[in-house]
Amino acid sequence: MSGQSTYTPGSGFARWFDERLPIMRLMHDSFVDFPNPRNLNYWWTFGGILSFLLVTQIITGIILAMHYTPHVDFAFGSVERIMRNVNYGWLIRYSHSVGASMFFLAVYIHMGRGLYYGSYKAPREILWILGVIIYLLMMATAFMGYVLPWGQMSFWGATVITNLFSAIPLIGTGVTEWLWGGFAIDNPTLNRFFSLHYLLPFMIVGVVILHIWALHVPGSNNPTGVSVKDKEDTLPFHPYYTVKDGFAVVVFMILFAYFIFFNPNILGDAVNYVPADPLSTPPHIVPEWYLLPFYAILRAIPDKLGGVVAMFGSIAVLAMLPWLDRSKVRSAVFRPIYKQFFWIFIIVFLILGYLGSQPPEGWYLLISRIATAWYFAHFFLILPLIGLLETPRPLPESITKSVLGSAAGGAPSGSAASPETKG
C-alpha cells in the first residue's frame, strides 16, 4: 500500500486480470513483499492471532445463527438444543463463547504491546485511534452476544448496561426505552441485539481493513521504536512473518483448545445456565471478565452520571493518548521511568479487574477509587510529566545496528543518543 509495487504477474491471464482488477497486486504488496522491520518480537504476532480469531468468531457465529432462535421463549432452549442435538453443536458453541474471551485476551496483549513500545506515537496516531474504535465495537458485540443465550446474567447484565444510558440528563429515559423497544428488556430487545450482534462483526472487519491500511502507510513500529531507515532494516512479510505469525497462531490455538475442551465454562458465569427470570435478580451481577476493569471504574464513582462518564472516559482517554504522551522516544526499552510506570499501570488495571468482580463495599470500594484515580492520573498527569522529566537512554542508530550489534561495524550505541524524530 506504499512504495513501488514489486508484483509481476506470473501468466498472461494474471496480467490481463491485473490490468482490470489489481487485487492480486494489492495482496502481494501487502502480505507477501511488504517490508517489515527485521527485529519484531513475538508480541507483534498478536495482530495475526486477532485476525485468526475474528475469522473464527464470524464463522462459528454464522453457524450458530443457523440453529439459534432469537425469541424470549425459545432462545435458552435453542442454545441447549445446539449443545445437545446439533452435530458438533457443543464444539461450535463452546468455540464461540471461549473465542470471545480469547479475542479479548489477545486484544489486551496487542494493546499492551502498543503502550509499551509507543506504537501510538506519530506517525501512527490514526492507526491507534482505529484500534480504539475496533475495541469499542468489540465490547458492544461481546455485550450483545452475551445477551443472546437469555440466561439470568444475559438478562440482568443487559438491564444494568442499558440502564447506564438513563443517566443521560433529560433524554435518558427516552433513550433507554428506545434501546429496549419497550419499558423493560424483552423480546424486542433480544431481537435487535441479535440483529446488531450479527452486523457489528462485519463493521469490525471494515475497520480492521482500515487499521491494516493505516499500518501499511508508515509500516510497523518495532521493539527499538527507531524508524526504518533503509531496506537493510526490513524483511519481506513472506516468508519471514507469515511463518512467525503462523507459528504463534498455532501456539495460541493450544490455549484456545484447552479452554474449549477442558474448561469451557470457567470463563463464563454459572448463573447464565439459569433461564432469564425478570422477577428475580441474581445476588451478584458481574459482566464477563474482560469488561471488569471498566465495571470497577463505573462503580467507584458515587454518582450515577459521573460513573457512566468515567467509564466511557476511561476508554476515550486511550484515543487521546498520542497527544498526552509528550516523549519523542517510542519504545519503553529506552525510557527507564516510563517503563516502571507502564508496569504499575498494568498492575492497576489488573487490580481494577479483580475489584470489578467483588462487591463495591468496604476496602474494595476504597481501593477501587484509588485505582480509578491512578488510571486517569496515569494518562493526564504521569505521562505528560515523564515526557518532560525523563532522560531517555541512548537509541541505536538503526534497527540493523540494534540487531547485529557493534559487530556490524556500527558506532558504539552511545553515539546515537538523539531522540527519534518523525521517520
Partner 1 sequence: MAQSDTVDETRRDFLFVATGAMGVVGIGAIAWPLIDQMNPDASVLSLSSIEVDFEAVEVGQAITVMWRGKPIFIRHRTAEEIRVAEETPLDILPDPETDMARIERSQWLIVIGICTHLGCIPKGQSIGDERGEYGGWFCPCHGSHYDTAGRIRKGPAPKNLYLPPYAFLTDTSIKIG
Partner 2 sequence: MAIRSACLSLGIVLALALAGPAQAESGSGKVETQKWSFGGFFGTFDRAQLQRGFQIVKENCAACHSLEYVYFRNLGEPGGPEFSLEEVKALAADVEVIDGPDEAGDMFERPGLPSDLMPSPFANDNAARASNGGAMPPDLSVIAKSRTYKRGFPNWLFDLFTGYQEQGADYLYALLIGYNEAPAEFNLLEGLSYNTVFPGHQIAMPSPLFEDGVEFNDGTKASVEQMSRDVSAFLMWAAEPHLEARKRMGFQVIIFLIIFAGLFYATKKKIWSRVKH
Please identify which residue in 253, 315, 317, 337 interacts with partner 2, judged by CB under 8 A.
Answer: 253
User: Do 28 and 1 touch, CB atoms closer than 8 A?
Assistant: no
Whether the CA torsion 326, 331, 335, 336 is positive or negative: it is positive
Q: Which is nearer to partner 1, 59 or 133 (CB)?
A: 59
Residues 6+ apart with CB under 8 A from 316: none
42 lies in the site for partner 2, by CB under 8 A = no
Contact partner, 66, from partner 1, partner 2, none, Cβ < 5-8 Å per class: partner 1
Interacting residues with partner 2 between 390 and 419 (CB under 8 A): 403-404
Distance CA 180, CA 174 (A): 10
Residue 240 interacts, among partner 1, partner 2, none and using kind-specific CB cut-offs from 5 to 8 Å, with partner 2
Query: How far apart are the C-alpha atoms of 54 and 39, rounded to whole Å?
Result: 26
Alpha-carbon distance of 314 to 352, in angstroms, equals 12
The answer to whether 83 and 272 have CB atoms below 8 angstroms apart is no
Minimum CB separation of residue 78 from partner 1 in Å reads 12
Q: Which residue stretch of 203-211, 247-255, 299-307, 339-347 sits at the interface with partner 2 (rule: CB under 8 A)?
A: 247-255
Tell the smallest beta-carbon distance from residue 85 to partner 1 (Å).
4
User: With contact defined as beta carbons under 8 Å apart, do 85 and 79 qualify?
Assistant: no
Stretch that binds partner 2, among 200-208, 257-265, 389-397, 409-417 (CB under 8 A): 257-265
Query: Which residues is 275 bridged to in the sheet?
Result: 151
Residue 250 touching partner 2 (CB under 8 A): yes
246 touches partner 2 (CB under 8 A): yes
Angle at 289 between CA 58 and CA 53, to 5 degrees: 25
> What span, in angstroms and rounded, lies between the C-alpha atoms of 75 and 188?
13
Residue with cell 432469537: 70
Nearest C-alpha neighbor of 293 from the set 112, 54, 50: 112
- Comparing CA positions, the residue from 234, 158, 288, 228 lying closest to residue 422 is 228
HSE-up (13 A, CA, CB side) for residue 365: 7
Residue 274 in contact with partner 2, rule: CB under 8 A: yes
**325: helix, strand or coil:** coil
- Coil, strand, or helix at residue 127? helix
Contact residues for partner 1, defined by CB under 8 A? 59, 63, 66-67, 81, 84-89, 91-92
What are the residue numbers of the active site?
216, 220, 244-245, 288
CA dihedral for 53, 54, 60, 61, sign (positive or negative)? positive
235 makes contact with partner 2 (CB under 8 A): yes
Smallest distance, partner 1 to C-beta of residue 90, A: 10
Question: From the centroid of its chain, how far is CA 151?
Answer: 26
Contact partner at residue 403 from partner 2, partner 1, none, CB < 5 to 8 Å by partner kind? partner 2
Asked if 220 is part of the footprint of partner 2 (rule: CB under 8 A), the reply reads no
State yes or no: residue 372 binds partner 2 (CB under 8 A). no
Encoded amino acid at 266, one letter: I
261 binds, among partner 1, partner 2, none (CB under 5 to 8 A by kind): partner 2
Pick one of 26, 184, 199, 257: the residue that binds partner 2 (CB under 8 A): 257
243 lies in the binding site for partner 2 (CB under 8 A): yes
Does 266 sit near partner 2 (CB under 8 A)?
Answer: yes
Task: Taking the CA atoms of 272, 277, 281 and 282 in sequence, report the sign of the dihedral they define.
Answer: negative
Binder to partner 2 among 14, 32, 59, 91 (CB under 8 A)? Answer: 91
Q: Among residues 6, 195, 265, 415, which is the contact residue for partner 2, using CB under 8 A?
A: 265
Q: Which stretch binds partner 2 (CB under 8 A): 13-21, 217-225, 262-270, 328-336?
A: 262-270
For residue 26, the partner it binds in partner 2, partner 1, none, with Cβ less than 5 to 8 A by kind, is none
Minimum CB separation of residue 4 from partner 1 in Å reads 29
- Sequence letter at residue 24: M
Q: Where does this chain bind partner 2 (CB under 8 A)? A: 38-39, 77, 80-81, 83-84, 90-91, 94, 152, 235, 239-240, 243-244, 246-247, 250-251, 253-254, 257-258, 260-266, 270-275, 277, 279-280, 282-284, 403-404
